[in-house]
Structure 1
């Protein structure tokens, strides 16, 4: 029975040293036929489960081996890794590569690092997609900020909420994870070199006419 963790580790070592390319090619061919034996619970009768660390390591191994990670055997390792990236509904864990299993998550720093390396070398690393706001009413201008990557924390639109006739409160969650009460207000204020305690509140009072 194969130890798939050590098998992938061996491939990474072989590619790093260039010691035996023929052996490395043989390991690659073996891994292509056994992706699910390493990154899933299929062999235990639990289809659909995915292990993030194993998936990320396979992606990285495919990239450093000069293989197409979107067609590694019968598998798209880049897509599978992206599918494991936590969305805004996960709160502080947003952007983390997490297991798709029942009862826990074994993801760790090594898995996160391999995921970033694999994604960066096979295309790009997600920049939060729809989870951030870059431009409102043409500000900042396209000449100042292309809005391709996630805006820096030092210059961004801060998000606020308030009841009708009340006071603005800085939101501890992004707009995508917020559920404003009916009749309340949402506001945005551009913050430059500010913190969550010094961000300026929106200048418009949250009062219905």
Structure 2
């Protein structure tokens, strides 16, 4: 999402970055000229920071109405940490996430409504930011999450609307709880490992008649299992990702026919942190090709398009957030905001 660390020796990435067509962004909020960078991950994160609504969160629009999007905001917080940049934006976003009404609207009230995947994702963000996860917005996130674990080891929603938990949430729960003093429960790790398909991939949802691997679910599961010592299972997942990589280096979501930055970002993160450098660098290069360069409109430079069809503001924010994880190559299990630069860099152009 072995001991997971900032991989790749980054000398390889830095050398490639210097040869890439790298853009500069025009700031929606002022950014010092000295903040220009040749690193695709930092430039993508800088663009992302400048898209925050009121400087602290993202929104999604449905039927003409804008709603707070806590999940996308967390994606951005993780991207900022992975790129070691945009720390001021990350701090503002974290404070927004800790507001009681924002927090409850995302993870539930903990009694009648409690959502496993959202709780796991927020717990990871709090850990990455160096917050106290036991008192984030007045909630003990590790305790809340552990309380949603069934005897089978599966983390499940408690909701009047039904249980929508899946392997995304299961993997994030294992990753986040691995970072707590109590560690990840063995039953939770066993449950995740048991969902692996015969070909090595992991499905989004387990228990279906046919097990179908998904690149996003596999990328997260690989990181969770590698961090908890399930090396054989993790390696099989990495093998599945390598076998399902497209010729352009990217990855295709279920039901799609072309590579997209979201799936490619997560898969590339898993490949690089798992030591699959050839496949990982192919994925990294495909993400750089989707990044808006110096010939793009200044306001779009640094963003990553969802796919090769071109830049679309409706999909670029989420695509950039997840692409940055692959461009940085830092696994979720080792992600930290400590030492990140405060500013939101722009991509350097001649």
TM-score of the superposed pair, with normalisation by structure 2: 0.32
Match of 2:185 in 1: 126
Residue from 55, 63, 66 that aligns with 2:119:
55
The number of aligned residues is 119
Match of 2:135 in 1: 71
Deviation at 1:2, TM superposition (A): 1.3
Structure 2 distance, partners of 1:75, 1:8, is 17
Match of 1:8 in 2: 74
Mapping of 1:108-147 within 5 angstroms? 108-123=166-181, 124-128=183-187
Structure 1 distance, partners of 2:129, 2:175, is 13
Structure 1 distance, partners of 2:186, 2:125, is 23
Match of 1:185 in 2: none
Mapping of 1:10-25 within 5 angstroms? 10-25=76-91
Q: CA RMSD in A?
A: 2.0
Give yes or no for the alignment of 1:36 onto 2:100.
Answer: no
Unaligned runs of 5+ in 1: 88-93, 129-209
Structure 2 distance, partners of 1:103, 1:71, is 27
Q: Which runs of 4+ in 1 moved over 4 A?
A: none
TM-score of the superposed pair, with normalisation by structure 1: 0.53
Deviation at 1:47, TM superposition (A): 5.8
Unaligned runs of 5+ in 2: 1-66, 188-350
Q: Max radius of gyration: which structure?
A: 1
Taking CA–CA contacts closer than 8 Å with sequence separation of 6 or more, which of the two structures ends up with the larger relative contact order? Answer: 2
Query: SS of the residue aligned with 2:112?
Result: strand
Higher strand content, 1 or 2: 1
Deviation at 1:103, TM superposition (A): 4.7
Match of 2:301 in 1: none
| Contact 2:112–2:160 (Cα < 8 Å) also in 1 | no
